[in-house]
Amino acid sequence: MKKSLAPNHFISIAHLTDTHLFAESDRLLVGIPTDGSFKAVLAEVKQTLPNVDLLLLTGDLSQDGSVESYQRMRNILDSYQIPAYCLAGNHDNLAVMQKHLPSEYVSLARSLNIGNWKIILLNSVVTQAVEGYLAKSELIWLEEQLNSERDRPTLIAFHHPAVAIGSPWMDSICLTNQDQFWETGDRHPQIKIVINGHAHQDFDQIHQTLHDSVRCLVSPSTCVQFRPQTPTFQVDELAPAFRHLRLYADGSIHTEIHRLKSGQFSPDLQAAKYNND
């Protein structure tokens, strides 16, 4: 995407993740209609960020990997006419997603340049596994991408968190080769942001590399939230949300969480036996 960027201007990105749509539009996940909460979050994006440049969706787009879930997501995203870049999570069916999700507005492209920035989307999914892993081929491709444009501030996105987030149960199902990923990070100081989904919560921490620091972000889900800093899985009562990112021409960043009003989509705590598999 070509967009010239004055030094004091920024790229505006809405990060939406873990939408968990079902084949049926009225099905609930822990008491929350995932179709309805996704639409409500998108409406909030449109209302609060009328000039947003793109949407970034980082996996678990579907709960069941169904054709219907991806077709409905495509239709919903197309209706907003905002470029949307998507990658897969452990709940997704990548083959079905590749066939039924792309459209004029919805892309599965793995890298793009926008303004002064480079955005790279990686696949951290392991077939039949909840935890994530970046295959050797993925790391080699990442290295090539980073070597090709060393001067562009870069955001890297994939599904599974790249650092421990402080909940042992979740940390055991994050990216299992974090060290290998950060070896690449050590060689490329242009990496400014690593952003992930999977953990259904707001997380914001600096990771120190050899030469620089990287902002590690995880964003809340557009449906059910997980309580942070817990030894075992717990549902959080916080409302669905998205993250707004402003990426400035000089590589600096501003980010904040936009959450729906509480009470509109409340989880059913009695039904909270969701075990994240």
Which of 77, 65, 61, 70 lies closest to 17 in space, CA to CA?
Answer: 61
**84 phi, psi to nearest 5 deg:** -125, 130
For 160-220, give the DSSP string.
S-SS--S-HHHHTTSBTTHHHHHHHHHT-TTEEEEEE-SS-S-EEEEEE-SSSEEEEEE--
Question: Which residue intervals of the chain are DSSP H helices?
Answer: 34-48, 67-80, 94-100, 136-148, 168-171, 178-186
Residue whose CB is less far from Fe ion, 118 or 200: 200
144/277 with CB nearer Fe ion: 277
Least distance from Fe ion to the Cβ atom of residue 187, Å: 30
- The nearer residue to Fe ion, 44 or 60, going by C-beta atoms, is 60
State the DSSP code for 221: B
Q: Which stretch binds Fe ion (CB under 5 A): 53-61, 148-156, 159-167, 258-266?
A: 53-61
- Shortest CB 275 distance to Fe ion, Å: 12
Note whether 122 and 135 are within 8 A (CB).
no
Query: Both tokens of residue 204?
Result: 């914001």
C-beta closer to Fe ion: residue 18 or 35? 18
CB of 66 to Fe ion, least distance (A): 16
Residues in region 149-168 near Fe ion by CB under 5 A: none
Contacts of 85 (CB under 8 A, 6+ apart): 54, 55, 56, 57, 107, 108, 109, 112, 119, 121
CB of 103 to Fe ion, least distance (A): 23
- How near is the Cβ of 223 to Fe ion at its closest, in Å? 9
Q: Nearer Cβ to Fe ion, position 18 or 236?
A: 18
3-class DSSP assignment, residue 93: coil
Q: How far is the CB of 224 from Fe ion (least distance, A)?
A: 8
Report the residue from 35, 44, 53, 60 that binds Fe ion according to the rule CB under 5 A: 60
Q: Judged by CB under 5 A, does residue 92 bind Fe ion?
A: no
- The single residue among 14, 18, 106, 117 that binds Fe ion, judged by CB under 5 A, is 18
Task: Give the number of residues in contact with Fe ion, rule: CB under 5 A.
Answer: 2
- Interacting residue ranges for Fe ion, rule: CB under 5 A: 18, 60
